[in-house]
Amino acid sequence: MKITFFGLSITSSWGNGHATTFRALCNALHRRGHNILFFEHNAEWYQNNRDLPEPPFCDVRIFEEWKQVLPRVRAELRDSDVAVVGSYFPDGIAALETVLESNVPVKVFYDIDTPITVGNLRTSGKTDYLLPHHLPELDIYFSFTGGPMLKELEEFGVPLAVPLYCSVDPEKHSELPPNPDWKCDLSYMGTYAPDRQPKIEEYLCGPALRVPSARFVVAGPQYPETIAWPANVQRIMHLSPRWHAEFYCSSRMTLNVTRRDMVMAGHSPSVRLFEAAACAATIVSDNWPGLETFFAPGREILLPSSAEDVIRYLTGYDDQELRRIGRAACERVLASHTSNARAREFERAVEVAGRRALNPA
């Protein structure tokens, strides 16, 4: 199949998780014999921070203005089998209008931000990248969030709402020897977000102050200079995806903190969660509805209810016990949450949508 994507970014992972998700999925689809084309708006932020300017698994078309690239888009859609518009694509509304007017057999929206999208549809009746009248015209609505939210999408008129969670590429994320530069007791990787910071303060900064002999690392951009990090917390401004595996493998434990909208919706695992698990890292995570469907609490993941629990993990769990938990999570991810698994789920949904188009009844 020829699959044409319109996404926030695939060339730059700076300050966004979309790139990692698109890379894993597109690479897996390419390995399975599909021809991948990706349209990306030339945003200044990503232009200056491209860590994969020419992905070997897809043809990237970077454009400046939608009106200028529109003739090329229409030409590419004429022989596309599937067209996918992603959430937060800067020209999302125009792209959806163009896709829905085309003769592409299967028209898809891929929402990497489903709770935010649905929240905006509830409160204001629109988003910057999707409008309500687009929903019934789609063939598939792929959602980063599963559970009850899929039913709510159908109530908005979506004909087929399917979870397509993030995934991990085992060729890029696996258990490796630790890197001495990042070796620590507890790490965290993620872009700054105001709604995540209180949990980072509780689960990482609090224990850092109370266990000064332990070492902590926080990697990610956009943190305000006003944050006073404890002396035993090392800061890394940005870590390229090529180093993520070494980063996780250098931590006795790694912290996962989820955005508030995702917590409220539940059933919204982050890509960092699967990446860390694939590296056999022992994950300490905030809790949310549906998490137990991805990892078994206590056996494959640690779920603290307070800073005291994190301190107990730091001081009371030996390395052997932590490795056992991390490797159990790794087995779970490699069985169910690889990029190849997601590519197969993508193909199955497209097949179902194609059958529905041929036989609507």
pLDDT digits (tens, 9 = 90+) for 139-160: 999 999 999 999 999 999 999 9
Region of poorest pLDDT, from 13-27, 63-77, 286-300: 13-27
CA distances from 15 to 12, 248, 294, 340 (A): 9, 18, 25, 25
How large a percentage of the chain has pLDDT more than 70? 98
How far is Cα 201 from Cα 236, in angstroms, rounded to an integer? 17
pTM summary value: 0.85
Choices 3.40.50.410, 3.40.50.2000, 3.30.300.30, 3.90.1310.10: CATH for 2-167+339-358? 3.40.50.2000
How large a percentage of the chain has pLDDT more than 90? 88
Question: Domain spans of the chain?
Answer: 2-167+339-358, 180-336
Q: What is residue 354's predicted lDDT score, i.e. its pLDDT? A: 87
Mean pLDDT, rounded, for 341-358: 92
The pLDDT confidence band at residue 85, using thresholds 50, 70 and 90, is very high
The pLDDT confidence band at residue 201, using thresholds 50, 70 and 90, is very high
Q: What is residue 60's predicted lDDT score, i.e. its pLDDT? A: 97
The pLDDT confidence band at residue 323, using thresholds 50, 70 and 90, is very high
Is the pLDDT confidence value at 216 over 70?
yes
Q: What is residue 13's predicted lDDT score, i.e. its pLDDT? A: 79
Identical topology for domains 2-167+339-358 and 180-336: yes
Is the pLDDT confidence value at 358 over 70?
no
Burial 315-332 (b: 16+ CB within 10 A, else e): eebeeeebeebbbbbbeb
Q: What is residue 45's predicted lDDT score, i.e. its pLDDT? A: 67
Instruction: Kindly indicate whether the domain formed by 180-336 is annotated with CATH number 3.40.630.30.
Output: no
pLDDT tens for 35-78 read 999 999 998 767 777 888 899 999 999 999 999 999 999 999 99
Q: What is residue 1's predicted lDDT score, i.e. its pLDDT? A: 96
pLDDT tens for 91-140 read 999 999 999 999 999 999 999 999 999 999 999 999 999 999 999 999 99
Contacts of 267 (CB under 8 A, 6+ apart): 145, 146, 147, 148, 149, 163, 289, 290, 293
Residue 57, CA atoms < 13 Å, CB-side half-sphere: 18
Q: What is the mean pLDDT of the chain?
A: 94
Tokens of 275: 């990446």
Q: What is residue 231's predicted lDDT score, i.e. its pLDDT? A: 97
